[in-house]
Amino acid sequence: MKKYERITALIMALGGLWIVYYAWDTLKIGSIHVPDAGFLPFLCGTGLVMLGIAWFLALQWRKERQTEASREKRLWHRPLLSLVLMVLYGLAMEAVGYVTSTLIFMVAWEKIIEREKWIKTLIISLLGTLAMYALFVYFLKVPIPQELFLR
């Protein structure tokens, strides 16, 4: 955990340096009398550099704590897979339409993330899609991407 935190702290300090450069060079910070668009970004970038370094140094002194959450077995691949599914869902929504993409997404979620049986997967997927359609399209009148076969 500490290793990842150290890397993040360094990335943060470097990101801050880039913001300082971007604010100075591209946005222009102006002067204290007439501050320009880069004035606050410059201050924020400077702050980020200092905070990144402070965090890095604090990690050197701090002892690693074993919290209850860190002892629990955690499945990191599930959030990663679900993020990929969500990106694909966004892509599919415009390509094949809202209802079709939602149904496919629900089936994929229940099978890949939750590892449910087919009967349960189909029931949850159909009901979930129907409920969202009823709420957003029927009641709230939200315009949704049209189905491919209806275009």
Given the rule CB under 8 A, which residues bind another protein?
A: 4-5, 8, 12, 19, 22, 27, 31-37, 39-41, 44, 47-48, 51-52, 54-55, 58, 72-76, 78-79, 82-83, 86-87, 89-91, 93-94, 98, 102, 105-106, 109-110, 113-114, 116, 124, 128-129, 131-132, 136, 140-145
The pair of structure tokens assigned to 77 is 């691949």
DSSP 30: B
**Closer to another protein by Cβ: residue 33 or 149:** 33
Containing 12, the helix (H) or strand (E) segment is: helix 2-22
Write down the least CB distance from residue 122 to another protein, Å.
13
Residue 100 CB, shortest distance to another protein, in Å, is 14
If the CB atoms of residues 119 and 140 are measured against another protein, the closer one turns out to be: 140
Nearest approach in angstroms of CB 57 to another protein is 10
CA distance 41 to 21: 10
CB nearer another protein, residue 83 or residue 148: 83
CB of 149 to another protein, least distance (A): 20
- Evaluate whether 5 touches 59 at the Cβ level (below 8 Å): yes
Q: Is the Cβ of residue 31 or residue 149 nearer to another protein in the bound state?
A: 31
- Contacts for 126-134 with beta carbons within 8 Å, 24 or more apart? 128/102, 129/99, 129/102, 129/103, 132/102, 133/98, 133/99, 133/102
CA separation, residue 61 to residues 2, 17, 45, 54 (Å): 11, 24, 25, 11
Number of residues assigned to the chain: 151
Nearer to another protein, 113 or 122 (CB): 113
